[in-house]
Amino acid sequence: MSEQKPLSPWNYKPWWCQPWSILLTGITLISGSWLLFKAIWLTILISIPILIWMGFFVLIWPQLIIRSGILESYQNQLMTDDR
């Protein structure tokens, strides 16, 4: 009998949609805006939507997916298909 992996939405996402890639992209964009424009007000303006995007996809989205039960039903379907 095989062990079940813990339910994690990150197991079902491609490499470019993993937490490390989301954080790296956000940090690069915010840093790039500072290096390019050297204006704190513009960097803050650019960073607000990026930080919201990062917060949603790294903190909120995984919890929503886990609570929805989608992963459990998907995992159960995989287990019945293996039989």
pLDDT tops 60 at residue 27: yes
Distance CA 50, CA 23 (A): 10
DSSP strands (E only) in the chain = none
Q: Given a cut of 50, is residue 1 above it in pLDDT?
A: no
The residue to which tokens 């039903």 are assigned: 73
> What pLDDT, in 10s, does the model give residues 33-79?
999 999 999 999 999 999 999 999 999 999 999 999 888 887 777 77
Q: pTM above 0.85? A: no
Amino acid occupying residue 18: Q
pLDDT over 70 (residue 29): yes
pLDDT value of residue 62: 95
**Nearest C-alpha neighbor of 29 from the set 15, 47, 48, 55:** 47
Q: Which residue has the higher pLDDT, 31 or 73?
A: 31
Question: Which among 12, 19, 15 is positioned nearest to 56, based on CA atoms?
Answer: 19
One-letter identity of residue 44: I
